[in-house]
Chains A and B, each alone.
Chain A
Amino acid sequence: MTQGPAGAEHPGSGQRLRPFDRRLLGRVAVARWALAVNLAAGLTGALLLLAQMTLLAGIVADAAQGRLRQVPAALALALAAVIMARAGLAYVVELSGRRTAARVMSALRAELVKRRLSGGGAAGLETSDSAELATSAVQGVDGLETYFARYLPQVVLACTVPVAVLLWSAVVDLRSAVVMVVTLPVIPVFLALIGRSAGARSRANWQALAGLSSYFLDVVRGLPTLRAFNRGTAQIPHIREVTDRYRRTTLATLRLSFLSGVVLDLATTLSTALVAVTLGVRLVGGTIGLRPALTVLLLVPELYAPVRRVGSLFHASADGLAATERILATLERDPPTAGPVAGGVAVRDRGTASPDPAAVPVRVRSVTVRFPGRPGRALDRVDLDLQPGQLVAVVGASGAGKTTLGRVVLGLTRPDEGVVLAGGRPLADIGLDNWRGQVAWAPQHPTLVPGTVADNIALGRPDAGAEAVAGAARRAAADRFIERLPEGYDTLVGPGGRGLSAGQRQRLGLARALLRGARLLVLDEPTVHLDEAAAGQVAASIEALRGSATVLLLTHDRDLAARADRRVLLDRGRTAGPAGRADGPGAKVPGVPAVAERVR
């Protein structure tokens, strides 16, 4: 039963859309409980159906033959009881199905969040489209509700009811049961039909919808740019066109997949017609009584109806499963935790502390990074030495790989080849969860989290007091603009920091990194948006770190680089020579005037 009758090939992914997704059931215990409830409800439901139809047929037959002036009270009550029992069953099935859907989706979201936040290589550039994933993780519950509250119960009914109907029909009238059995092989064929077309439709549908959603968001995000070029309204026909393309492709698949519905509808109505006509002929011949004939007639539609309903629900629930599928695929693709990187050493368990990068050298050895879908190498056998307490500037044209190098040192980008050593131990051995406690990062475009300015500065040191926060802001030349904000350090800032200019955001990011009190700081273009006075202030703060922390400066700011102890030129992913040989007093670094080496 686990393979299910309605399995459909997923040619693209090589995965199958199943009525019972083993990965789903295996991952979430609640899902198994739902299955048990459904099996019980399915059996009870089938029996209640037989009882209702048999009672009805008996009364109707008596009435038709003029034997009743009234429906006897006892029979009417019995019928009503059966009906109320079916109603109660409907309540239980719907309730447990929806609850299961909500809990399953919540469990999947929790796991997704855990993975995404586990940092390291897991949360890197591969994050293809976080908006799409978030939408799936929240809206996907609708489809999952259909799956657990409607589809799954109906699949169970589709298995129990036809069997019950056949068995009871055989008891009532064997010949009719034989006719039904002859038409029965139709069911698996139709189910296969449904699965095939529905799987294809659902896949196409979800992809079109997700693509459309990304496209729409992209256009809305770009509205300011489009308007600057007077091209905002020009997008409207394009939106129409993209949506219309979606309509046409979806309708083309619908035309096919609804056909399986037509076939099942036909099976239901034609088998009813066939059995009715056959019974009519036999009744005229006197080979069957009215009561068994009516019982069979009432039961025939129920032979195919549950299967038919599975078909109509498959479309809806497959959409929901497609959303779940995305999340499951993401969960299976990402490594389980950040700790074990290359070599799979679970460092968390070992409890090894990280070496102090302000006390031991950090060495980048022959690191190569490639980005999928982009030619060449972002970093090509790069060597870099960071001596304890030194201020090292990596300079180079934009696109030379400075940011990538910084990310490798931080452990955010896993090198394809080569290694980063801290005190002679590879990062993989130290464990990224230990390493992150030693490092701080001021990226070029820091992300502001929802909360106050102070919350944002204290992101890496939530216990820091107001004074420490203000001190970090001062060192990052952020104090003056913060004090001008309506509520100073208590001003709320949103994600993306839309209310702040790029320079203000960057200074908050720098203050955040400075406050962290890390032993190794990676500062990505810390002065890029700043005016001269602020840039000077920031440069002085960075210089003040010398000796107490190791600083890796990624910059093209001449003045800032001049203050570094060493400068390393990065040119199209390559260092000009083995670690640090290209720098020093005599090195020719374009854009950076040679200054006296200031090594402590």
Chain B
Amino acid sequence: MTRAPAAPDGDTTRPLAAVSSPRVLARLTGLLGLRPGQLALPVGLGTVAVVAGAALAGLAGYLICRAAQQPPILSLTVLMVGVRLAALTRPVARYGERLAAHDLAFRALGRLRAAVFARIEPLAPAGLEAYRDGDLLSGMVADIDQLQDVALRLLVPLGVAVAAGTVVVAAVAGISPDAGLVLGAGLLAAAVAPPLLAARLVARSQRRQAALRARLTANLVDTFGAAEELWLNGADDRAAAVLAADDRALVEVALRDARAAGAADALGVAISGLTAVGVLMASTAAAGRGALDPLLVAPLTLVALGVFEAVLPLSAAARHLPLILSAGRRVLDLAGREPEVADPGEPAAVPPRFEIALHQVAVARGPRRTRVLDGLDLRLEEGASMVVTGPSGAGKTTLALLLARFLERQAGEARLGPRDLRDYRQDDVRAAVLLSAQDPHVFDTTIRENLTFARPGATDAELGAALAQARLGDWVASLPAGLDTRVGERGRALSGGQRQRLALARVFLADPAVLVLDEPTAHLDVETAGALLDDLWRVAGRRSVLLVTHGSPGPFERCPRVVLQRPGPAPADFIPSG
């Protein structure tokens, strides 16, 4: 089994790989809506916590050394108060920092989800067709969730490290320039070297890990979804072997990552420990020269031991950076795609009449731009009905997508009312021309919520009427929870016919002027299908209906019929998914 590549080979897929990391981060920060002002609170609190910790260690050390000289106990009071104050400040500031940082991360995540959704919304359905389910999952959810770390694991720790490091080093340098120099150098080394090492060693393999993970997730989803058929066909062992190979590849990369992580960790421990020794040596030497009060050797050493907690999170951040960047690139890539259909600069007013006229229309689809419709003429008067038939692959669905402005035509004329389809806003076209697709999506929620989006604010009576029209009324009434029955993932709890009828009930609720129905009876038995077409015919009276079907059109038999033919030798509505 050969695997199809994860991303579609469209024409706009690759540009972001070349974009530099800082620019990716800048764009992500924009999508996340992170501004410096929002970072000030968690960074400020984090700095206070680190400084208080250092102060506690330094003051306690000084207190003890001073006490060893046995001064009057009252002279130590100020020191004792300082020690207690620092001890109280630190936990409180730390608590505030963590809450503020998490709040910030979650807020940013909400903005990001909404922003990404807003960008991909105009891409559907044509622009997202080639995305595999599993990839959409990892692309949309794992990648986006990963990006909440931009604030939590990247920006806040970085801010705290810089601010707290500067304050503490300045204070130490003020007491002993030598010790300050050693501590500053050590802190800088610890802030740069282990994170760089981790990032450099991990960058390549982790970029691979993210891709491997996405692929493994997608393959797992596919395999779980096809489990029954794979098992029944005796293909389960082969599928398991494919997965096992993917799994091995991922584990191998993970094992290599482990070494990098271990080395970076060890380097951090070594630098912080040796710096404390260095500070001890520098301050001892300064005291020996008489340049420093010997009592201050202990506090300086203790401060040096404690302050490294400020730079510790930077290694984890650096290890995360490649993951964040590659997830961010994928998200930005998806968000940056150009929609297939664009609104005109100066849209015409809402169509006043709804007759449709196509003249010599040609549509090409897919990366190969295969002709699916060619030289099509069609006229649908307002209030009239029409049947479109033709062999599978003749472009029936393409015609339906074209009429609802989900596809752009390459040649010919297409008018809705007095003007070209392209002159209207897409929303205005779709408010008039409703496409009920061959495979309408049923949302994993209640029957009610699956209906109300077609007419927000619809009353139960209106919902009931629409369900009755779709011949679902009795069934819904028989359910214990009625309209509030949940239909399961992709309407799993419904039969194929019930799903189709639920979709039709939505159509009745939306009440469009032109109704384009793509194979509405495909999953219905003859009786129900006939009854449904009868109902459609009755409802059609005052609106135009374009019925795409390969079966019996029922009462629509008497309407004009357009028979589509496959254009030329090229494949019809085939879009390679790989």
A485's nearest neighbour on chain B, judged by CB, is: B571
B510's nearest neighbour on chain A, judged by CB, is: A229
A344 on interface, CB distance cutoff 8 Å: no
Evaluate contact between A113 and B228: CB separation under 8 angstroms. Answer: no
Evaluate contact between B73 and A281: CB separation under 8 angstroms. Answer: yes
B519 on interface, CB distance cutoff 8 Å: yes
B453 cross-chain contacts in A, Cβ below 8 A: 226, 229, 231, 234
Evaluate contact between A283 and B270: CB separation under 8 angstroms. Answer: no
A465 on interface, CB distance cutoff 8 Å: no
A591 on interface, CB distance cutoff 8 Å: yes
The CA-CA distance from A82 to B574 in the complex, in Å, is: 68
A503's nearest neighbour on chain B, judged by CB, is: B392
The SS class assigned to the A binding surface is helix
Evaluate contact between B285 and A131: CB separation under 8 angstroms. Answer: no
A-B contact pairs, 18 of them (CB 8 A): A69-B284, A70-B284, A90-B265, A95-B259, A135-B142, A213-B137, A217-B137, A220-B120, A247-B107, A269-B53, A279-B67, A280-B63, A290-B65, A444-B523, A459-B235, A486-B574, A498-B577, A528-B522
The CA-CA distance from A567 to B484 in the complex, in Å, is: 37
Interface string of A73-113 (1 = CB under 8 A from B): 00010011011101110111111011101110010011001
A338's nearest neighbour on chain B, judged by CB, is: B231
Residue in contact with B102 in the complex, picked from A129, A251, A276, CB distance below 8 Å = A251
Interface string of B353-393 (1 = CB under 8 A from A): 00000000000000010100000000000000000011111
Residue in contact with A297 in the complex, picked from B64, B213, B439, B443, CB distance below 8 Å = B64
A403 cross-chain contacts in B, Cβ below 8 A: 495
The CA-CA distance from A530 to B57 in the complex, in Å, is: 80
B479 on interface, CB distance cutoff 8 Å: yes
Question: Closest CB of chain B to A457's CB: distance in Å?
Answer: 11
B30 on interface, CB distance cutoff 8 Å: no
B497 cross-chain contacts in A, Cβ below 8 A: 397-399
A71-B280, A492-B578, A530-B550 known; 20 other A-B pairs, CB under 8 Å?
A: A63-B287, A79-B277, A83-B274, A102-B258, A109-B216, A116-B223, A118-B231, A149-B261, A223-B128, A225-B441, A227-B125, A235-B121, A269-B91, A277-B63, A290-B65, A298-B302, A397-B525, A441-B229, A494-B132, A502-B438
Evaluate contact between B227 and A127: CB separation under 8 angstroms. Answer: yes
Chain B interface: which size bin?
35 or more
B200 cross-chain contacts in A, Cβ below 8 A: none
Known: A220-B136, A484-B570. A259 touches B441 (CB 8 A): no
A14 on interface, CB distance cutoff 8 Å: no
Residue in contact with A216 in the complex, picked from B130, B140, B223, B295, CB distance below 8 Å = B140
Evaluate contact between B577 and A492: CB separation under 8 angstroms. Answer: yes
The CA-CA distance from A247 to B122 in the complex, in Å, is: 27
B185 on interface, CB distance cutoff 8 Å: no
Known: A130-B221, A373-B493, A496-B133. A117 touches B230 (CB 8 A): yes
B393's nearest neighbour on chain A, judged by CB, is: A481
Residue in contact with B255 in the complex, picked from A102, A224, A225, CB distance below 8 Å = A102
Interface string of B488-502 (1 = CB under 8 A from A): 011011111110000
B391 cross-chain contacts in A, Cβ below 8 A: 531, 533-534
B462 on interface, CB distance cutoff 8 Å: no
A-B contact count (CB 8 A): 554
Known: A64-B294, A290-B64, A499-B576. A84 touches B270 (CB 8 A): yes
A222 on interface, CB distance cutoff 8 Å: yes
B20 cross-chain contacts in A, Cβ below 8 A: none
Residue in contact with B489 in the complex, picked from A209, A214, A436, A485, CB distance below 8 Å = A214
B492's nearest neighbour on chain A, judged by CB, is: A125
Evaluate contact between B87 and A273: CB separation under 8 angstroms. Answer: yes
The CA-CA distance from A209 to B57 in the complex, in Å, is: 40
A437 on interface, CB distance cutoff 8 Å: yes
Evaluate contact between A130 and B233: CB separation under 8 angstroms. Answer: no
Evaluate contact between B496 and A444: CB separation under 8 angstroms. Answer: yes
Q: Which of A137-145, A181-189, A360-368, A539-547 contacts B (4 or more CB under 8 A)?
A: A137-145
B490 cross-chain contacts in A, Cβ below 8 A: 221
Question: Closest CB of chain A to B485's CB: distance in Å?
Answer: 9
B70 cross-chain contacts in A, Cβ below 8 A: 283-284, 286
Evaluate contact between A138 and B216: CB separation under 8 angstroms. Answer: yes
A281 cross-chain contacts in B, Cβ below 8 A: 67, 73
The CA-CA distance from A361 to B453 in the complex, in Å, is: 51
B479 cross-chain contacts in A, Cβ below 8 A: 375
B350 on interface, CB distance cutoff 8 Å: no
Interface string of B502-541 (1 = CB under 8 A from A): 0100100010000000010011111110000000000000
B271's nearest neighbour on chain A, judged by CB, is: A87
Evaluate contact between B124 and A227: CB separation under 8 angstroms. Answer: yes
B396's nearest neighbour on chain A, judged by CB, is: A501
Q: Which of A19-27, A192-200, A348-356, A446-454 contacts B (4 or more CB under 8 A)?
A: A446-454
Evaluate contact between B60 and A272: CB separation under 8 angstroms. Answer: yes
A175 on interface, CB distance cutoff 8 Å: no
The CA-CA distance from A509 to B437 in the complex, in Å, is: 22
Evaluate contact between B140 and A220: CB separation under 8 angstroms. Answer: yes
The CA-CA distance from A230 to B269 in the complex, in Å, is: 57
B251 cross-chain contacts in A, Cβ below 8 A: 102-103, 106
The CA-CA distance from A134 to B217 in the complex, in Å, is: 6
Evaluate contact between B240 and A499: CB separation under 8 angstroms. Answer: no
Question: Closest CB of chain B to A98's CB: distance in Å?
Answer: 3
Interface string of A197-213 (1 = CB under 8 A from B): 00000000000010001
Evaluate contact between B550 and A529: CB separation under 8 angstroms. Answer: yes
Residues 391 to 446 of chain B near chain A (Cβ within 8 Å): 391-393, 397, 404, 406, 427, 430-431, 434-441, 443-445
B543 on interface, CB distance cutoff 8 Å: no
Evaluate contact between A500 and B574: CB separation under 8 angstroms. Answer: yes
The CA-CA distance from A128 to B490 in the complex, in Å, is: 11
Evaluate contact between A273 and B83: CB separation under 8 angstroms. Answer: yes
Evaluate contact between B141 and A502: CB separation under 8 angstroms. Answer: no
A486's nearest neighbour on chain B, judged by CB, is: B571
Residue in contact with A591 in the complex, picked from B76, B489, B527, CB distance below 8 Å = B527
* CB-CB nearest 8 A-B residue pairs: A398-B497, A119-B231, A556-B525, A494-B577, A69-B288, A265-B91, A83-B273, A460-B233
The CA-CA distance from A254 to B106 in the complex, in Å, is: 12
Question: Closest CB of chain A to B279's CB: distance in Å?
Answer: 11
A340 on interface, CB distance cutoff 8 Å: no
Interface string of A468-482 (1 = CB under 8 A from B): 000000000000010
Residue in contact with A87 in the complex, picked from B235, B266, B478, CB distance below 8 Å = B266
Evaluate contact between A110 and B231: CB separation under 8 angstroms. Answer: no
The CA-CA distance from A398 to B529 in the complex, in Å, is: 10
A106 cross-chain contacts in B, Cβ below 8 A: 247-248, 250-251
Residues 221 to 261 of chain B near chain A (Cβ within 8 Å): 221-236, 238-240, 243-244, 247-248, 250-251, 254-255, 257-259, 261
The CA-CA distance from A416 to B157 in the complex, in Å, is: 57
B573's nearest neighbour on chain A, judged by CB, is: A501
Evaluate contact between A499 and B577: CB separation under 8 angstroms. Answer: yes
A336 on interface, CB distance cutoff 8 Å: no
A293 on interface, CB distance cutoff 8 Å: yes
The CA-CA distance from A116 to B84 in the complex, in Å, is: 59
A35 on interface, CB distance cutoff 8 Å: no
B459 on interface, CB distance cutoff 8 Å: no
A396 cross-chain contacts in B, Cβ below 8 A: 525
Evaluate contact between B232 and A113: CB separation under 8 angstroms. Answer: no
Q: Which of B39-47, B108-116, B165-173 contacts A (4 or more CB under 8 A)?
A: B108-116
Evaluate contact between B574 and A499: CB separation under 8 angstroms. Answer: yes
Q: Which of B1-9, B21-29, B554-562 contacts A (4 or more CB under 8 A)?
A: B1-9
Interface string of B41-74 (1 = CB under 8 A from A): 0000000000001001100110111111011010
Evaluate contact between B523 and A398: CB separation under 8 angstroms. Answer: yes
The CA-CA distance from A529 to B213 in the complex, in Å, is: 37
B480 on interface, CB distance cutoff 8 Å: yes
B288 cross-chain contacts in A, Cβ below 8 A: 68-70
Evaluate contact between A251 and B283: CB separation under 8 angstroms. Answer: no
A149 cross-chain contacts in B, Cβ below 8 A: 258, 261
Q: Which of A52-60, A154-162, A379-387, A579-587 contacts B (4 or more CB under 8 A)?
A: A52-60
A491 on interface, CB distance cutoff 8 Å: yes
Evaluate contact between B84 and A218: CB separation under 8 angstroms. Answer: no
Evaluate contact between B99 and A255: CB separation under 8 angstroms. Answer: yes
